[in-house]
Amino acid sequence: MVVQTEQEPQTAGELIRFWRTRRGLSQLELSLDASVSTKHLSFVETGRSSPSRQLLVHLAQQLDLPITERNRLLLAGGFAPPYLELPYDGEVMQPLRESLERLLEAHEPNPALIVDGLWNLIEANRAASLLWGAWPAGGSCGS
């Protein structure tokens, strides 16, 4: 038995179509939001037209793509990515991590979370453990 899986989008047009459908938008809705003709958007999605860098950046903004996906879209279109991706645990991000740590501590005794653009948990304060069921010994929820 062979399981058919969906092929990952490779071209700029395929990526635009993927994100447009993921956002629940029709070609007409996206073209109206982006002030682009439906015909041109269709041609870009099918590969009949090569999008400019400006169009790709504009569509990425309209689709509210994460930075990583904006870079991927531009690379697929043959353009250099303008957005620098720095690791959260890198040296350059140390001042940001320290500020966020102070912010998490300031929210205690209330739970606070730090998530990335894809809603992955990055950091949490001690009170946040209550959100995922780490109740104190002998404690109960709602009593």
Token reading at 54: 């400006």
pLDDT reported for residue 140? 47
Give phi and psi for 50, each to the nearest 5: -90, 120
pTM over 0.75? The answer is no
Q: Along the chain (143 residues), what's the average pLDDT of each consecutive run of 10 residues?
A: 62 95 95 95 95 96 92 93 80 90 94 84 89 58 45
- Report whether 47 contacts 13 (CB < 8 A): yes
Look at residue 115 and give its three-state secondary structure: strand
Query: Structural domain boundaries of the chain?
Result: 12-76, 91-132
Residue 78 CB contacts under 8 Å (≥ 6 apart), including other chains: 12, 50
**How confident is the model at residue 89, as a pLDDT?**
86
Angle between helix 38-46 and 12-22 (nearest 10): 120
| CATH superfamily name and code, 12-76 | lambda repressor-like DNA-binding domains (1.10.260.40)
What is the DSSP secondary structure assignment for residue 132, as one 8-state letter? Answer: G
Give the separation between CA 27 and CA 58, rounded to whole angstroms: 15
